[in-house]
Structure 1
Amino acid sequence: MNISRSSVDVSAVALLDVIRSIAFVGDLAMGQPIDHSPKVAWMAGQLARAAAADEAACTEATTVALLRWSGCTANAPEFAQLFGDDVAGRNALLAIQSSSGGFQSHSSTSGIGSAFLSLSRIHCEVSGDIARELGLDEATQFALGHLFESHNGSGAPAGLRGDQVPASVYMASLAGDLDIFHRLYGLEQACQLIGQRAEVLYPSALASLLIDNAASWLAELEGDPTLSGPCSLETAFCGRTTSLEILAHVIDLKLPWMTGHSRRVAQLALNAAIELGLDSARQQKVYRAALIHGIGRAAVPNMIWNTPGKLAESAWERVRLVPYWTARAARQIGSLAGEAEVASYAYERPDGSGYYREARAGTIPIEGRILAAALALAALCVARPWREAWEEGAAASLLMAEAAAGRYDAEVVRALLKVPRASRSKPVAAPSSSLLTARERDVLRWISLGASNKQAAQKLSISPSTVRTHIESVFRKLECTTRAAATLKATQLGLL
């Protein structure tokens, strides 16, 4: 069967399913239960309705609550530098019982306060950009760009206060605090803590409204596992679609050396599926599964991923759960459930040596075997903290040897390697090459991979001041202020 590589529509996905997927990634990265954001979103919507907000405001509060952790993969490297374990560090911050909250409670220490201001700026800028890429309205974009503002003006990133802060930010914060504190300390103490934060983090009137309804809303959530209700986004977003690539980029932001990884794997997998003669529906499933195969990666701290030597057994066990968490995502993301199931086979091997199922040849679907081989080839050809990149010919030889030993499907590997090299790395979307100069793209490529100005200068044989000038130009052209936001925009535009 000869199917054109351009004949498969691979990008249009239900908007709400992508939002739910991003929320799932955020909950993993924050060390929260995987139903945390859906619960918080439902309660934020209920709070908006109780406050006599109109339907647009109710939708905004629900959406902001679902996406409030969307920027947490973007500042994971900085969080890891500050805490070591970025996942546990975030989880600990959310559990702090101070009246000023996790971020503001550090403001008394100038060094840490400055670090948290930087972290919040990265998070908020990327969250706002994600909302724009998803086609959400300007009010939602603004709210997601000011997630850590406080009622008394002590928040971040802009120090807004009172009515300057969108009501949806207050509602998402209140609902989030209720879910976390109720889970950790019980209802009575949760309400006390929220009361202490009134007029500091959020308005007293909204806090009182939440406290008055807390018991009934929590009981309703307990009795309604589907988390459906009058503030559901199903109606508001019905028929709306977005590009699945944005989810891949959010996933890859967690580790700078993963920039563009999921999209490379997706292109390789799609090419192999076409070479093997799979029909268009299965080609699409392979491509989409490759884009989201890293969902579960958010649950593993960066300090583990960046380990240069052999992993400790406890760390290895966390890595083995990555595809398990990806499989769990299938239960929450609607139309992408089939793709998430395929994605969970990314690390399985025909000889049973893979994970997490330790599945064998007869139980691994062809889409899963394609994904596993494409993932291996893409990873080998790019440097990792524990090794240099393999030359493409050497990577191909190793993959064939592994297939001969039974660790990959030999027919799949042959199809993968049969595709011309130029086609293997061809981007799905044509880059906006006129936006940045060639040198600006070179500088952006290195900083997106985590290089400092000095390191980028050494790689490009230019001065650090020249690198800084190029970065300022890139930021201006991409309309951003942080490296993470520049990386997200550049990958979405096909510049990286």
Structure 2
Amino acid sequence: MPLALQERIADNGHVGATTGAPTRGEMLAAVSVAIDLGLGQPAEHMMRAAILADRLAARLGLSDEQRGAAYQTTLLMWIGCTADSQEYARWFGDDIAVRSASYLVDWSGLPFLRFLVQHVAQGRPLTERATTLAALLRDSRGNLGALMHSHCLSAALLAERLGLSRAACEAVPAAFERYDGRGLPRGLAGDAIPIAMRIAQLADTAEVHDRLGGTDAAIQMAGARRGGQFDPVIVDAFVADGAALLDIPHGSAAWAAALDCAPDRDEVLQGEALDDAVAAIGDFADLKCPFLLGHSRGVADIVGAAALAVGVPADGVTALRRAAHLHDIGRLGVSNLVWSKTGELDDDDWERVRMHPYLGGRVLSRIPGLATEAALVRVHHEHVDGSGYPAGAPGTSLGRSDRLLAAAVAYQAAREPRPYRAAFDPDEAIARLHRRVAAGHLDGEAVAAIEATTDAAARARIPRSILPAGLTPREAEILTLVAQGRSNREIAAALSLSEKTVRNHVEHTYIKIGVVNRVGASLFAIDHGFVGRTA
């Protein structure tokens, strides 16, 4: 029997009930594995670092509440990495490669300057690299500070949406600060940096150096950055017994050990609480690329309505909606250098793209309560003729729910812009799906269900007469374009306005909706249905 069928109970394509409800601790651990992908680190890096943070907090005599905050902060300290991936790619080329390499250098002084010179605009022509480097170095602290400011604000918003403790939510925005006050974006120093983040910074970096070079390398690194990047008290506690503190398991054992430390390991998520958590994770994944804003929510709306229309039982509809929110979490493992290409992808690019459903399934695979959703995620780009990816699974292994999700993803993607094409209108998007049916990629019955659902949605749609937060129609239009990653210049050109007018609209809109950056605007746009719902 094919693996896809072994992993769920099928009733003519019906997705069966999962084995139990997941806990918040498991959900956050899964998000940490997705973060590992975006950092270019092996799975369980952030979990192993969180175990180390918990041990360090205990050595420092912190309370159980403080230990919990140190654990959560370390586990998700880079939760903002999706929100700034596009900017990292703009400056450095491969956002994942530069994040991975950054662990090996102290972000200060000449070593950091050499790092910038080596990594700016990697993979681009020499003249473009020189131009980008010059632009960065004209105000390196200002340019990097702006990038990190956006990252930190985004991290705070996402941490709150994922249900982290108040102390962890307050600590996460300080990821780029330094004990010596030379960090960014606020230049916090010493005890002004929350203790949970001071512990997390050392734990995160020490785990990498220990894995690459052993305990001595981790201890040497900590000593070299003592009083600079790291709090001397925390470094001393680490160095005093580094071998024991770093005796941390790998693989599935690391997952179990991390959950043993998690302050929320017994907080079971069910019903609406679980729906909110998976929606937040989907939003987190979609922030990887501005043109994907609201993508996962749109897929969830479409596939849920289509599944109901064709008689999928209630538990199957719920699983499909949740899988739709989670289906693109594996995108974090592919550089924005690939996702943002305006031309043809080469063979290496395609190899990475084809891996993202597998990576998504892997992120979710250790959560027993999401086994059905993980199986759906793994096959959302498989084709009925066996030509899909990542496994080239035969159509006989794809149930009704698999086929519905694939069709919903295809429709939503067609209705969204991509760097290499404009968005299709509804009729064009449906025509595109029918061409894919003829080519053997999508299931005809699934596409018919999507078509009927989107037609009904278009007929039922009522124009919005009252906009939230007192927004004017023009402000709502500009907010949507900002959320999709458009620059003021691009918005001005699209709407035949001056850049100054657009800038004024953006400033007024931010004040009205209570946000200070694009990610805040993006989450507001998602929550209020400005993006992600395309009929």
Q: TM-score, normalised by structure 2?
A: 0.84
Equivalent position to 2:492, from 457, 467, 471? 457
The residue type paired with residue 379 of structure 1 is A
1:188-227 alignment, distance < 5 Å = 188-222=216-250, 224-225=253-254, 226-227=256-257
1:76-225 alignment, distance < 5 Å = 76-96=85-105, 109=137, 111-222=139-250, 224-225=253-254
**Secondary structure of 2:32's aligned partner:** helix
Alpha-carbon distance, 1:61 to partner? 0.5
Distance 1:361 1:169, change over 3 A: same
Alpha-carbon distance, 1:464 to partner? 1.4
- Structure 1 Cα separation of the partners of residues 169 and 244 of structure 2: 31
Distance 1:389 1:55, change over 3 A: same
Alpha-carbon distance, 1:238 to partner? 4.9
Equivalent position to 1:378, from 400, 409, 412? 412
Aligned to 1:284: 318
Alpha-carbon distance, 1:229 to partner? 6.6
- Structure 2 Cα separation of the partners of residues 79 and 295 of structure 1: 19
Distance 1:370 1:276, change over 3 A: same
The residue type paired with residue 369 of structure 2 is S
- Structure 2 Cα separation of the partners of residues 285 and 424 of structure 1: 25
1:224-263 alignment, distance < 5 Å = 224-225=253-254, 226-228=256-258, 231-235=261-265, 237-238=267-268, 241=273, 243=276, 244-263=278-297
Alpha-carbon distance, 1:392 to partner? 1.6
Alpha-carbon distance, 1:194 to partner? 0.7
Q: Deviations over 1:258-298 (max 9, x none)?
A: 11111111111111111110011100111111111111111
- Structure 2 Cα separation of the partners of residues 124 and 390 of structure 1: 34
Alpha-carbon distance, 1:485 to partner? 2.7
Aligned length in residues: 483
Alpha-carbon distance, 1:381 to partner? 1.8
The residue type paired with residue 465 of structure 1 is K
- Give yes or no for the alignment of 1:352 onto 2:386: yes
Moved more, 206-215 or 244-253: 206-215
Equivalent position to 1:409, from 435, 443, 446? 443
- Structure 2 Cα separation of the partners of residues 470 and 199 of structure 1: 44
**Secondary structure of 2:79's aligned partner:** coil
Q: Is residue 480–residue 525 contact of structure 2 (8 Å, CA) maintained in 1? A: no
- Structure 2 Cα separation of the partners of residues 109 and 199 of structure 1: 26
- Structure 2 Cα separation of the partners of residues 116 and 184 of structure 1: 27
- Structure 1 Cα separation of the partners of residues 527 and 502 of structure 2: 22
Distance 1:142 1:40, change over 3 A: same
Aligned to 2:476: 441
Equivalent position to 1:64, from 64, 73, 82? 73
Alpha-carbon distance, 1:111 to partner? 2.8
The residue type paired with residue 343 of structure 1 is V
1:306-455 alignment, distance < 5 Å = 306-421=340-455, 423=457, 433-435=467-469, 436-455=471-490
Distance 1:69 1:468, change over 3 A: same
- Structure 1 Cα separation of the partners of residues 298 and 238 of structure 2: 46
Alpha-carbon distance, 1:32 to partner? 0.9
The residue type paired with residue 84 of structure 1 is G
**Secondary structure of 2:139's aligned partner:** helix
Q: Is residue 269–residue 370 contact of structure 1 (8 Å, CA) maintained in 2? A: yes
Q: Is residue 41–residue 63 contact of structure 1 (8 Å, CA) maintained in 2? A: yes
- Structure 1 Cα separation of the partners of residues 466 and 257 of structure 2: 41
Q: Deviations over 1:164-212 (max 9, x none)?
A: 1100001111111111111222221221111111111122111111122
Q: Is residue 124–residue 146 contact of structure 1 (8 Å, CA) maintained in 2? A: yes
Aligned to 1:32: 41
Alpha-carbon distance, 1:302 to partner? 1.1
Q: Is residue 286–residue 292 contact of structure 2 (8 Å, CA) maintained in 1? A: yes
The residue type paired with residue 233 of structure 1 is P
- Structure 1 Cα separation of the partners of residues 68 and 170 of structure 2: 14
Moved more, 182-191 or 320-329: 182-191
Alpha-carbon distance, 1:103 to partner? 9.7
Alpha-carbon distance, 1:309 to partner? 2.1
Structure 1 unaligned runs (5+)?
Answer: 1-11
Equivalent position to 1:298, from 332, 353, 364? 332
- Structure 1 Cα separation of the partners of residues 456 and 242 of structure 2: 58
Equivalent position to 1:466, from 501, 520, 523? 501
**Secondary structure of 1:451's aligned partner:** coil
**Secondary structure of 2:90's aligned partner:** helix
Alpha-carbon distance, 1:452 to partner? 1.2
- Structure 2 Cα separation of the partners of residues 470 and 229 of structure 1: 46
- Structure 1 Cα separation of the partners of residues 33 and 357 of structure 2: 14
Q: Is residue 249–residue 492 contact of structure 1 (8 Å, CA) maintained in 2? A: no
Alpha-carbon distance, 1:110 to partner? 5.4
Distance 1:80 1:391, change over 3 A: same
The residue type paired with residue 510 of structure 2 is F
Equivalent position to 2:522, from 463, 487, 492? 487
- Give yes or no for the alignment of 1:41 onto 2:50: yes
- Structure 2 Cα separation of the partners of residues 342 and 306 of structure 1: 26
Instruction: Give the share of equivalent positions with the same residue, in percent.
Output: 31
Distance 1:211 1:335, change over 3 A: farther
Distance 1:289 1:235, change over 3 A: closer
Structure 2 unaligned runs (5+)?
Answer: 1-20, 118-135
Q: Is residue 48–residue 207 contact of structure 2 (8 Å, CA) maintained in 1? A: yes
Q: Deviations over 1:215-266 (max 9, x none)?
A: 1133242594422475223446456845121111111111111111111111
Q: Deviations over 1:17-65 (max 9, x none)?
A: 4422332221111111111111111111111111111111011001111
CA RMSD of aligned residues (A): 2.7
Q: Is residue 75–residue 484 contact of structure 1 (8 Å, CA) maintained in 2? A: no
Moved more, 258-267 or 398-407: 398-407
Q: Is residue 79–residue 159 contact of structure 2 (8 Å, CA) maintained in 1? A: no
Aligned to 2:120: none
Alpha-carbon distance, 1:432 to partner? 9.0
